[in-house]
Structure 1
Amino acid sequence: MTTYRQIDSYLEKNLDQNLEELKRYVAQPSISAQNIGLGECAQIVKEMLEKRGFTAMIKSTAGAPVVFGERKGKSDKTLLIYNHYDVQPPEPLELWESPPFIPEIRDGKMYGRGVSDDKSHLTSRLFALDAILDEDGELPCNVKFIVEGEEETSSVHLHDFVRENMDLLKADACIWEFGGVDHREVPMQYLGLRGICYVELSVESLGTDVHSGLGGSIFPNAAWRLVWALNSLKGKDERILIPGFYDGIIPPTERELELMKKLPDVADEYKNRFGVKEFIKGIKGGNELKIEEVFTPTCTICGLNSGYQGPGSKTVQPARASAKVDFRLVPAQMPEEIVKKLRAHLDAQGFSDIKIDFLGGEPAARTNPDDPFIKLIVDTAADIYDAPMELVPTVGGSGPNYPFVHDLNLPVATMGLGHPDTRAHAPNENIRLDLYLKHAKHMARVVKEFAK
């Protein structure tokens, strides 16, 4: 491998300057769920790309704008990098130790909403390109960025954007938005994502809330109605009861199962980190837990809302009730089909009054663990980390990798600066600065070796 002493020296000397750029980026609220600051943040992304000599443009969609940037390099090979600029809502605000949109560095970490998911990943990758340009004056290959603003709301418009811009996004390989180390400080290569189908179920049984003494025994109760409907979705054995839900799903390959066996048992780690007393379905740990976590589809009640929830008592019969529900999907399950099956199930169970709002979704997708691009990512990591990168066939979370894998036909690799206590989506979201620097060094190696 090429000697990277000059590049590493540049990154170490200029880290503080680059972190100021990250601070500016994090300080701009960009909450897709609330449509706050998305246009302003897209403009910041465009400016950061242009600063590096990229031809950048902000392209409109039916939702948040997508930023695209491209800079030609010495080689004809093209690397596509996917990131997103939108973040989760910061609430509950009272649990933050410092304001979520005033990034702060303390004890070797930077804190702020979106600093890990996903703003630092973009700036650290740009930082790596800075180091390459400082050494060579040009990029060794073509580099394209696609940075969207709806990832935290299921990337509702990204699939259409990709299909409408196939030539623009044409590349040889793709680096995904996230990555990092596990609880052992071992870098992980996540090769796939589960899909997701996110819905809101709601029912309105009265024109207004009613005194429970008046309506309790004679009026329909929206909260009970919704509870009964939700109860029909899954049995106590955790099996999802929607007819056809499991039809045609593609099981893991022997190669994927082989890779899962090599990964460490996470049972004790999960118990310590999340306070889990026991796992569902009688699972104790080991390989069974690892496989169940990522290869099984789910039905999760994410939130419930109805009636009075303040302090003290209020005797009221609610007129309306709603629930947020997500289904995590495995290969061959399509979100639109899940919604149709859900509708048919509720109707057959006598719940035709339950309204379904489809809030977004995407199918599952995985990259071949033996693809040469994956090997390149793994091999270049060895120069940075104290342990070899491990391959994880898929993770339990979701993201819009399906059009990149199946439409653009690209191997999609993960690499990044996450760590187990990054607290993404939670108060006090953070990154470790040592991992930020390591990711930039790794990224520089990937770009230069890929060009060969």
Structure 2
Amino acid sequence: MDYQAYFQSKKDAHLKELGELLTIPSISALSEHKADVLKAAEWVADSLRRAGMENVEVHPTAGHPVVTAEHLHAPGKPTVLVYGHYDVQPVDPLHLWETPPFEPSIRDNKLYARGATDDKGQMFLHVKAVEAILEQEKELPVNIKFCIEGEEEVTSPNLPPFLESHQDQLAADVILISDTALLEPGKPAICIGLRGLCALEVSVHTANTDLHSGTFGGGVPNALHALVSLLATLHDEQGRVAVDGFYKGVHELTPEIREEFAKQQFNEDHLKQTLALEDLYGEEGYSFVERTGARPTLELNGVYGGFQGEGTKTVLPKEAHAKITCRLVGDQDPQDIIDKIEKHLRENLQKGATLQVKATEKARAFTIEPADPMLQKAADAYERVYGTRALFTKDGGSIPIVETLSRVLSAPAVMMGFGLPDENLHAPNEHFNLENFDKGLLTIVEYLKSL
């Protein structure tokens, strides 16, 4: 079948249909958009029905709905579960958008709208790929299931219990996800690792009130001094995290993985120039790509306290605060890391100060061996369409639900992304390059048929 000709003939209709979904402000983080999120879920369900999927359901949860569908008419063939999400990020700051975020527009062969690349546009590719095969060949080469949620942008709080209670319904041989990016135009990548995450808020308290720095300075503890000295103990001079036991469960990079990283040919000098940095920073003995993709981190995201206004106020603050996040790899357990950091902070706290620690987000890392046959077939599919085989990469970010999906359903997760790193996901002027819209459809068809 000539799928390229088919998709070209349908392109205007497909983009118009996707545009309908992109006009729905399905912002999961904002309660005033709850009705819009439901509207998007129902739109996705209708789209799946039009594509030929069966048993399409919109499942209520304690938050936003989960949409499921299936087409199970290939006995003896693998079952593919397609995961995606229809919720989007908030649009602030609105004034930086060149065109309204929920009024899709095409400029320079790029589709601009909130959700264009993350993840409505990429999720939509799978719906249309399945529809194309059914229209062209009247049957699918594999069994297909869909699980499309509306809470990915708020860390998927209600999907894990849904997965647990619907394991039989969602059982699959492979989980197919398009919510990542190519390395650069024409250079496809398959993510084989996502870092986990834990977050905590730290507060240091001293006196029961702010104090005059002339009357009390040098004689009583200063909450800012106590916090800054405490935070300085978290790393050593080699850029390693100095918390005892922090690296438990972190596996050393194999020569094969380091070779795969080297194939990216990442230009660190160009990065320094782009960011106007004199030098990069991080754990000694690792390249930038290795540090950000496959090594754990502990980062300060906010430090605040005391007088913030114009001019001078001679005051000793009674409290100071910090926000910390860690990216985790390997078998690091988020709660264990939080416990170890809290123990370290308490052991190194200045005399006269008290400490409060509040844990917030927690997610485990995800990793999969590139030798998995499902990943190798995906790399082959990219090569047939893009003319170059996909590289296997590790992503420094976190998509917590990927590890949960793979673990609960006992299936490999194949992340076949079609976005680009510069498409402004989560930022104003989010867009999706239509070259990858076209090639993404063909690649997904190639992959499903190869299974």
Give the TM-score range, shorter chain: 0.7 to 0.9
Task: Identify if the C-alpha distance between structure 1 residues 174 and 346 changes in structure 2 by more than 3 Å, giving closer, same or farther.
Answer: same
Q: CA separation in 1, counterparts of 2:62 and 2:317?
A: 35
Aligned to 1:336: 335
Aligned to 2:294: 295
Cα pair distance change 1:16/1:170, threshold 3 Å? same
Contact 1:366 1:405 in 2 (8 A): no
Unaligned segments of structure 2, at least 5 residues: none
1:347 and 1:281, CA in 2 relative to 1: closer, same or farther beyond 3 A? closer
Instruction: Give 1:50's aligned residue.
Output: 49
SS of 1:391's partner is strand
1:31 is aligned to: 27
User: Mean alpha-carbon deviation: is it higher for 30-39 or for 245-254?
Assistant: 30-39
Matches within 5 A, 1:328-407: 328-350=327-349, 353-392=354-393, 394-399=394-399, 400-407=401-408
Tell me the residue number matched to 1:432. Answer: 433
**Aligned partners of 2:115 and 2:430 also within 8 Å:** yes
**SS of match in other structure, 2:235:** coil
Q: Structure 1's 181 and 281: CA in aligned 2 closer, same or farther, altered over 3 A?
A: closer
Within 1, Cα distance between the matches of 2:323 and 2:447?
Answer: 40
Partner SS, residue 167 of structure 2: coil
Determine if contact 1:201/1:322 at 8 Å carries over to the other structure: yes
SS of the residue 1:124 aligns to: helix
Residue 299 of structure 1 aligns to a residue whose secondary structure is: strand
- Structure 1 residue 15, shift from structure 2 partner: 1.7
Within 2, Cα distance between the matches of 1:272 and 1:252?
28
Structure-to-structure mapping, 1:84-163, within 5 angstroms: 84-163=85-164
CA 255–347 in structure 1, closer or farther in 2 if over 3 Å, else same: same
Structure 2 length-normalised TM? 0.86
Change (3 A) 1:169 1:389: same
**Equivalent position to 1:17, from 13, 16, 35:** 13
For the structure 1 residues 8 and 319, does the alpha-carbon distance in structure 2 shift closer, same or farther, using more than 3 Å as the test?
farther
Q: Which residue of 2 aligns with 1:445?
A: 446
- Counterparts of 1:171-186 in structure 2, within 5 Å, are 171-183=172-184, 185-186=186-187
1:60 is displaced (CA, Å) by 4.1
Q: Which SS does the other structure have where 1:384 is aligned?
A: helix
Whole-angstrom distance in 2 between the partners of 1:270 and 1:161: 42
Structure 1 contact 54–71 (Cα < 8 Å) conserved = yes
1:380-423 alpha-carbon deviations (Å, 9 max, x no partner): 2222113222222x221111222233332222212122113112
Contact 2:240–2:283 at 8 Å: present in 1 too? no
Secondary structure of residue in 1 paired with 2:234: coil
Distance 2:224 2:96 in 1: 30
1:264 Cα deviation after fit: 1.4
Mapped to 2, the partners of 1:307 and 1:58 lie a distance apart of 50
Give the alignment's Cα RMSD to 1 decimal: 3.1
Task: Tell me the SS of whatever aligns to 1:186.
Answer: coil
Partner of 1:258: 259
In structure 2, relative to structure 1, the CA distance for the partners of 1:381 and 1:248 (3 Å cut) is closer
Which of 439-448 and 340-349 deviates more? Answer: 340-349
Deviation per CA, 1:54-106, whole angstroms, max 9, x where unpaired?
A: 32333344444333222223344210112122333322333222222332221
What is the match of residue 66 of structure 1?
66
CA positional deviation for 1:307: 5.9
Aligned to 2:69, what secondary structure does the other structure show?
strand
- Does the Cα contact within 8 Å between 1:127 and 1:440 map onto a contact in 2? yes
Contact 2:226/2:349, CA 8 A, preserved across alignment: no
Alpha carbons of structure 1 residues 396 and 220: separation in structure 2 relative to 1, 3 Å: same
How far apart, CA to CA, are the structure 2 residues paired with 1:430 and 1:228? Answer: 43
**Structure 1 residues 433 and 246, CA, compared in 2 at 3 Å: closer, same or farther?**
same
Match of residue 169 from structure 1: 170
State how far apart, in whole Å, the 2-side matches of 1:425 and 1:62 are: 25
Distance in 2, Cα, partners of 1:113 & 1:219: 51
How many residue pairs end up in the alignment? 442
Q: 1:313 to 1:168 in 2, by over 3 A?
A: farther
Q: What is the rounded CA distance, in whole Å, between the counterparts of 1:255 and 1:244 in structure 2?
A: 26
Distance 1:223 1:390, change over 3 A: same
Separation of aligned partners in 1, 2:235 and 2:263: 32
Aligned partner of 2:323 in structure 1 is 324
Alpha-carbon displacement from aligned partner over 1:315-364 (angstroms, at most 9, x marks no partner)? 48767654432211111101111122122222223388443333322211
Contact residue 11 and residue 128 of structure 1 kept, 8 A: no
User: CA separation in 2, counterparts of 1:389 and 1:86?
Assistant: 28
Q: Which runs of 5+ in 1 are unaligned?
A: none
User: Residues 432 and 210 from structure 1, CA distance in 2 versus in 1: closer, same or farther, beyond 3 angstroms?
Assistant: farther
Please list, as runs of the form range in 1=range in 2, the aligned pairs for 1:187-202 lying within 5 A after superposition.
187-202=188-203
CA distance in structure 2 between the partners assigned to 1:62 and 1:368 by the alignment: 35
* Contact 1:367–1:405 (CA under 8 A) maintained in structure 2: no
**Aligned-partner Cα distance in 1 for 2:155–2:167:** 20
Asked whether the equivalents of residues 21 and 123 of structure 1 are also in contact (C-alpha less than 8 Å), the reply is no
Secondary structure in 1 matching 2:297:
coil
The 1:250–1:211 alpha-carbon spacing in structure 2 relative to 1, beyond 3 Å, is same
Q: TM-score, normalised by structure 1?
A: 0.86
Give identity over the alignment, percent: 33
**Aligned in 2, Cα 1:18/1:307: closer, same or farther, shift over 3 Å?**
farther
Aligned to 2:160, what secondary structure does the other structure show?
helix
Distance between the aligned counterparts of 2:190 and 2:279, measured in 1?
28
Task: Give 1:46 deviation, angstroms.
Answer: 2.7
Alpha-carbon distance in structure 1 between the residues aligned to 2:210 and 2:112: 42
Which amino acid in structure 2 is aligned with residue 10 of structure 1? Answer: Y
Q: Which moved more, 1:313-322 or 1:363-372?
A: 313-322
| Structure 1 CA distance for aligned equivalents of residues 298 and 337 of structure 2 | 11
